Amino acid sequence: MDKKINILKSINHNFLVAVIRGASADEAFNDAAACIKGGIKTIELTFTVPSADSVIKKLKEKYQNDVIIGAGTILDEVSARLAILAGADFIVGPNFNKEIALIANLYQRPYIPGCMTTTEITTALSYGSDIIKVFPGNVLGPKFIKSILGPIPNANLMPTGGVNLDNISDWVKAGVAAVGIGSNLVSPGANGNFDQVEENARQYVSKLKSNSPIKL
Q: Which pLDDT value is given to residue 215?
A: 56
Q: What are phi and psi of 154, to 5 degrees?
A: -85, 0
Q: Are the C-beta atoms of residues 133 and 146 closer than 8 Å to each other?
A: no
pTM listed for this prediction: 0.95
What is the identity of the amino acid at 17? V
Q: For the chain, count helices (H), then strands (E).
A: 11, 8
* pLDDT, averaged in runs of 10, over the chain (216 residues): 89 97 97 98 98 98 94 98 98 98 97 97 97 94 96 97 94 96 95 98 92 60
Given the residues 44, 58, 77, 198, select the one marked as catalytic: 44
* Helix, strand, coil percent content, the chain, rounded in steps of 5: 50, 15, 35
Given the residues 41, 77, 133, 198, select the one marked as catalytic: 133
Q: Which pLDDT value is given to residue 212?
A: 63
**Rg (Cα) of the chain, in Å, rounded?**
16
C-alpha angle 67-70-75 in degrees, rounded to nearest 5? 175
Residue 44 is among the residues annotated as catalytic for this protein: yes
